[in-house]
Amino acid sequence: MGQHKRRYIEAEDARRRATQLGEILQAGVDVFCWCNRCGHNATISSARLAAELGPAFAVPEIGSRMRCSGCGSKDVAARPDWPSLGQIARHG
């Protein structure tokens, strides 16, 4: 990879940051968590999480603080529970 492309990619990576709890709390969005081991999932209140972890806490990092209530695994992932557009009935 050329130097210019490498520098561009590094600059883009440095500019990006994960969504924070305070941002989704303002948007009225909760946090969706799922277990990568058994597939169990749950939605957790962003207000509750922001009160416990702080509004600057990164949403993807929440999974590292969770334990699956189904199987006990600590391999849990988290993302904002953005509203769905619904099921797609057909493609154009």
For residue 25, the domain's CATH number is: 2.20.28
Total structural domains within the chain: 1
Whole-number percent of the chain with pLDDT over 90: 67
pLDDT surpasses 90 at 32: yes
Indicate whether 87 belongs to any domain: no
Is 43 within the bounds of a domain? yes
pLDDT digits (tens, 9 = 90+) for 44-88: 999 999 999 999 999 999 999 999 999 999 999 999 998 877 766
How far, in Å, CA of 18 to CA of 5, rounded? Answer: 23
Q: What is the mean pLDDT of residues 26-53?
A: 95
Q: Specify burial of residue 68 (Cβ count, 10 A radius: 0-12, 13-18, 19+).
A: buried
Domain that holds residue 45: 18-80
Q: Where are the alpha helices (DSSP H) in 1-92?
A: 3-15, 21-27, 46-53
Cβ–Cβ < 8 Å for 34, 77: yes
Contact 39, 69 (CB under 8 A): no
The reply to whether 23 falls in a domain is yes
Q: Could you tell me the two tokens for 82? A: 């953005």
Domain-located, residue 51: yes
10 located within any domain = no
Stronger pLDDT, 35 or 13, i.e. the higher one: 35
pLDDT confidence bin for 8, thresholds 50/70/90? confident
